[in-house]
Structure 1
Amino acid sequence: MINIFWLCYLGILAIATIGALIKGAFKTTFWIIDFVFSVITWIGLFGYITNTQILNPLVWKFVFVSGLLWHLIFGFKKFNEELKDDDEPQSIKLVIYGITLIILIGPLYFGLFNYAFK
């Protein structure tokens, strides 16, 4: 039963990415690197969901750390670029962005962490 929820989550991530591909969001180098990190982490999450060993656990430990750092750094960089337009306080926007990041990407890295370190 739990695997169904994980597969639904993985499907939602894939649908969002396909939508971004159709929209043409992956035109810059940063977006292409983000896409590559996303696909690699999804493969790890798929291995966690299906309980199959795809690569060496050491590889997934590296993928977990580098992917998490990339998504945090890339996300906050884009957040700061878009922050300049509004009059709302930066702290409120940062809290909303952090909560959104935890909800959307948190399960991905939770599964990847369990896959790499357990």
Structure 2
Amino acid sequence: MEHVLWTIYLGLLGTASLSYFLKGMYESKLSKIDFVVSVITWIGLLGYVTETAILNPAVWKFITVAALLWDLLFAMLLKDYEGIEILGGLPIMMRRVLMLITLVIGIGPLYYGLFRYAFS
């Protein structure tokens, strides 16, 4: 059952990002970098889910830490959420807290799987 849930999660992540890619939503350089980082992390999660050795565990340790730092930096500071109308009435600190909660719920499992893949 666990394998099925991981496969569904991997499929949802990939489908969402690929649909954004196909619609041309990755316009800025930072968004394109984020897409590349996402693809690399999907490969690691795929290795974890399928229990396949892809690259060296030391490489995945570096990728896990670097990608997590990138995602936090990109989501919290670099990506411009300030103009979104849904968050418009909230103070900046509350916006950041809501973005962090959304980030943890959305990609927390990804980094859990990458961590287990790299450090197990």
Q: TM-score, normalised by structure 2?
A: 0.90
What RMSD over aligned residues (CA atoms) do the two structures have, in Å?
1.4
List gaps (5 residues or longer) in structure 2: none
State how 1:6-85 maps to structure 2 within 5 Å: 6-78=6-78, 81-83=80-82
CA distance in 2: counterparts of 1:82 and 1:63, whole angstroms = 26
Instruction: Tell me which moved more, 81-90 or 59-68.
Output: 81-90
Structure 1 segments, 4+ long, off by >4 Å, are none
**Secondary structure, in 3 states, of the residue corresponding to 1:24?**
coil
**Separation in structure 1 between the aligned mates of residue 81 and residue 36 of structure 2, nearest angstrom:** 23
Superposition TM-score, scaled by structure 1 size: 0.91
How many equivalent residue pairs? 117
Displacement after TM superposition at 1:52 (Å): 1.2
* Structure 1 residue aligned with 2:90: 88
Q: Give the CA deviation at 1:45.
A: 0.4
Gaps of 5+ in 1: none
Does the aligned pair in 1 maintain the 2:60–2:114 contact within 8 Å?
yes
